Structures are given as C-alpha cells and as structure tokens.
Amino acid sequence: MPSFDPVLRDDLVATAHALADAARSETLRHFRAADLQAATKEALHFDPVTEGDRAAEQAMRAVLARRRPMDALLGEEFGAVSGTSGLTWVIDPIDGTRAYLAGTPTWGVLIAVSDASGPIYGVIDQPYIGERFSGGFGHAEVTGPMGTAALQARPPRPLAEAILFSTFPEVGTRAEAEAFRRLSAEVRLTRYGMDCYAYALVAAGTVDLVVEAGLQAYDVQAPIAVIEAAGGIVTDWRGGPAQDGGRVLAAANAAIHAAALAILEATPEG
C-alpha cells in the first residue's frame, strides 16, 4: 500500500466513521418496524430492498457530499458518481437485507475507500448490536458492547478443524456449489446466513473461511480491508484479486487459504 499523508489518512478514517454513524441512525430507525416493506430488484427471485437501505445510502451520500465531494462513489442502491481525487468510496447501506427484513441482527453496513490498488480502509458496522469492525493503514480493531479490542485473524490449523461460512447453501452456479460442497466436506463446521458478519468474524479470529460467489464490489471491498488489516487473506477462487466481487475466498491465514484454494481453484467458469 502506498504511503498516505497523515492528514489525509486521518480524514479518510474520520469520514468512514461518519458514514457509519449516519447509516447506523437510518437503519435502526426502520429496523424491526411493524410497517417495514420490501420491494424486489429481480423478477426471477426475491432480492429485497427496503426504505432502510435507501435512507441509509442517501444519508451516507450526503456526508460524502459535505466532507469529500472530490472523491468518486459506488453505492448499491443509487449507482456511481465520478470523482477527481483518485479515491472511490464503495458502500453497501445494508448488506444482508433479507436478515434485516426478518429482524435478525446479522446484517451490516459496509464502507470502503479504495485507490487504484484496491481497498485501503474499511468498516463493517452492525448497528443493532453496536459492533464496528474497522481496518486499514496498519490498524484493525472492533468497538462494541465489550469495549475496544485489536482484531487478529486466527492462526493456522488443519482444514479438518476449520469453521467455514457462506451466506447461502446454494453457492453460485452448479459447478461452484459442487466445489463448495467438496470444501465443506473437509471442514469441521459449516454455517450459513451471516452475510457480512461472517467476514467480520474472520477478522475477529473466530472463523477460518468464508466462501461465496456472485458478489459485487460493494459486497466485498470493506471486508477485504478489514480482514487484510487483521492479518487474513481475501482473493478470488484462483488466488487473484477479489475487489471487483465474483467468487470470493476469505481466509484467516495463508495456510488455510492454500488448503481451501486447492479445492476451489479448478472450478470451471460459467
């Protein structure tokens, strides 16, 4: 990662947390509301969006317009805005809208700032629990009900002892799902449905692997920044960059990453 002027670095960190604060207020205002409604973005399957998603992204956009109008922006709900600074904010106002709609506290707000090399700082915020995982510029921490602590991904252990997460049992295409099942058969425990919170747990040192497919940049850039700052690794299924989404393998360390990659990397495209 290139060096950053300390003033710029501190402003980027402060802006990321200001975005998280703004989104936290809006998402909690709608969470578990009796009249919460959801539209679907897709005709063939239920891909929900709620007023909480839209309000949170609008609030974050307003913060960026005030604080850093020269930066570019990519948001899930309202698209892209060009910039002139060479930096891009990549935001997902609610990652896990299905969980949000169901009232479970495993959704989160994702915020990343990236340069040409990829994500340089990220935040995974869970407003209802009050936990905020952040990482970048050589620092990774979680703040929440139990105070503030450094984030450190789990050290190596055999694949047969690993904990693996994915959002859905139906991972991507048929070939991708078959590859995931092969990996799942090799680990001790496989769990589903945690959305971005599973990536936070990789950074926190309780989960070894997260494997998914079909992701977008706004799904993964914040987790990449947080996990890498905590000592973990995030790549695609062939060991390449994952910042644009697609197939994603998040791992606590190089050894467990290599073990999982050996099973996933031959999966055919399409």
In Å, how far are 73, 92, 100, 102, 112 from 50, measured between CA atoms? 21, 13, 9, 12, 22
Distance (Å, whole) CA 111 – CA 91: 5
pLDDT of residue 1: 52
Distance (Å, whole) CA 216 – CA 237: 15
> Which stretches of the chain are DSSP H helices?
6-30, 51-67, 97-102, 174-184, 196-204, 217-229, 254-264
CATH of domain 159-264: 3.40.190.80
List the Cα angle 85/89/94 in 5-degree steps.
170
CATH class (in words) of the domain with range 6-150: alpha beta
57-61, 123-127, 169-173: least confident range = 169-173
Cβ(124)–Cβ(223) under 8 Å?
Answer: yes
Q: pLDDT (tens digit, 9 = 90+) per residue, 115-152? A: 999 999 999 999 999 999 999 999 999 999 999 999 99
Distance (Å, whole) CA 183 – CA 262: 9
* pLDDT band at 2; cut points 50, 70, 90: low
Q: What is the pTM of this model?
A: 0.95
Q: Break the chain into its structural domains and give their ranges.
A: 6-150, 159-264
Neighbours of 42 (CB within 10 A): 8
pLDDT of residue 151: 98
